[in-house]
Amino acid sequence: MEIGVRPELCEANGVCAGLAPEVFELDDDERLHVHRPVPVEQVELVSKAVQLCPKGALFFADNEGDSGS
């Protein structure tokens, strides 16, 4: 599973980091970092984070460079 982030939409609400802190991390400048690859045991939480992102900044990307656009 590949996850992408649209940084221009991300407002650092932290919903994703709260749900899956092993995958999503906000730095001190409130930039979101995604730790890859997504561990198998985190797939369900990451999927929920994508669905619940209040700004729609997260998306599923295929392995061929899908930018989610």
Q: How far apart are the first and last CA of the chain?
A: 17
In a domain, 69, yes or no: no
> Does 54 sit behind a cis peptide bond, omega within 30 degrees of 0 on the bond before it?
no
Contact 3, 34 (CB under 8 A): yes
User: pLDDT (tens digit, 9 = 90+) per residue, 21-62?
Assistant: 999 999 999 999 999 999 999 999 999 999 999 999 999 987
pTM for this predicted structure: 0.84
Give the chain's domain count: 1
- 41: containing domain: 2-61
In a domain, 47, yes or no: yes
Mean pLDDT, residues 5-14 taken together? 96
In a domain, 68, yes or no: no
Which H or E element spans position 59?
A: strand 58-61
In a domain, 7, yes or no: yes
In a domain, 67, yes or no: no
In a domain, 44, yes or no: yes
